[in-house]
Amino acid sequence: MSGGARPDHAFWHGKKVLLTGHSGFKGSWLAIWLARMGAKVTGVSLAPTAEPNLFVLAGSHIEASHFQDIRDQAKLAEIARNAAPDIVLHLAAQALVRPSYQDPIGTFATNVLGTANLLEAVRSIPSARVVVAVTTDKVYRNLEHSFPYRETDQLGGHDPYSASKAACEIVVSSYRDSFLRENGVAVASARAGNVIGGGDWSTDRLLPDAVRAWQSGTLLSVRRPEAKRPWQHVLEPLSAYLVLAERLWSDASLADSYNFGPVSHEAAPVRQVIEIARAAYGRGEVVYGDGTEGPHEAGWLALETAKARHVLNIEPRWALTEAVSRTMKWYRAQHDGADARTLCEAEIAEYEAVA
């Protein structure tokens, strides 16, 4: 699968970018890509706690890195003002469903108030022209129907994570309409499907859990094998965020919400993803649950991405089997001694080279 727009190195070269969440899984990949294109990046995030983690293993080589909680409005505003960014890419979040049940207040504070803090800071930055705020495919009120969700569908969220991200969407829309549009800042939200890729060692995520189990020779337990999700390789949404920012720079009227993910018929159940992963990894034992363990999670979720295709010319390049296989091969290579940054750089180059 191929086609569509791709990030423009010439556009990003020399651009000043404020990247929140730069020490996370997606943020680390994005920092590497931005540095590769010559952008001047200031990162803001919590210090990484997972061991291992991609931020430490790969390094980002950005201009400045700040380990700062985005819930602290004054300190975040100071960092943002000093960075004087042209473009803001907002990825910082509490990004996991199950931990949101354990700390709902922290989840809402980070995802809702943290976003408001950032957008409030942007109001006083004359250089800022574009903000891309990353949310999730889980912002929709999930009716468990068989139709993919469109950007105009009702927002909602059963679990605190999903609800906090739906609320984040309302905050983004409010700041765009109330303040930032009249200040000449184009603000869009990006709703991406389930992201996979090498370098994610988060807990309670499917492929990282599989890698941990299979590397240690233990049994992988899968709670909800029939849950269906719009899986995509990490470079797919990151490319979309970058292209979206480029388009907003040249046409502020495109400031809106966008779904990014595979074509809707490629949403796949967990069981299928695990079987592809096991074949690519070359070994691994798994036991499948009956879907009743743990707190509520959506059983079926797919995104309609026609708007991204028609308005932004964004299309996925790597289909499910290739995305999963590349992910598992990345983990195998890194575990066998390959340098994490070299692996990321090579994969970015291969993604950019797709005809």
Please check whether residue 278 lies inside any domain of the structure.
yes
Residue 251 burial (CB count, 10 A): 11
Domain carrying residue 169: 9-292+301-352
Q: Which two tokens stand for residue 301?
A: 């979720």
Per-residue pLDDT tens listing for the chain (355 residues): 446 899 999 999 999 999 999 999 999 999 999 999 999 999 999 999 888 999 999 987 899 999 999 999 999 999 999 999 999 999 999 988 889 999 999 999 999 999 999 999 999 999 999 999 999 999 999 887 778 999 999 999 999 999 999 999 999 999 999 999 999 999 999 999 789 999 999 888 899 999 999 999 999 999 889 988 889 999 999 999 999 999 999 999 999 999 999 987 788 899 999 999 999 998 889 999 876 665 655 566 888 999 999 999 999 999 999 999 999 999 999 999 999 999 999 999 999 998 6
Q: To 10 degrees, the CA torsion angle through 272, 273, 279, 280? A: 160
Please check whether residue 1 lies inside any domain of the structure.
no
Please check whether residue 3 lies inside any domain of the structure.
no
pLDDT, residue 1, reads 44
Number of domains in the chain: 1
pLDDT, residue 297, reads 57
Of 135, 297, 143, nearest to 227 by C-alpha is 297
Name the DSSP letter for residue 38.
Answer: T
CATH number, domain at 137? 3.40.50.720
155 beta partners: 140
Please check whether residue 232 lies inside any domain of the structure.
yes
CA-to-CA distance for 212 and 220, rounded, in angstroms? 9
Name the DSSP letter for residue 126.
Answer: T
If you search the block for the tokens 């269906």, which residue do you land on? 228
Report the SS3 class of residue 189.
strand
Query: For residue 71, how many C-alpha atoms fall within 13 Å in the half-sphere facing its CB?
Result: 11
pLDDT, residue 266, reads 80
Please check whether residue 106 lies inside any domain of the structure.
yes
CA-to-CA distance for 268 and 230, rounded, in angstroms? 7
Please check whether residue 192 lies inside any domain of the structure.
yes
Residue 153 burial (CB count, 10 A): 17
CA-to-CA distance for 218 and 242, rounded, in angstroms? 39
CA-to-CA distance for 258 and 186, rounded, in angstroms? 14
Please check whether residue 2 lies inside any domain of the structure.
no
For the chain, state the CA radius of gyration.
19
CB 291 within 8 A of CB 223: yes
Please check whether residue 197 lies inside any domain of the structure.
yes
Name the DSSP letter for residue 265.
Answer: G
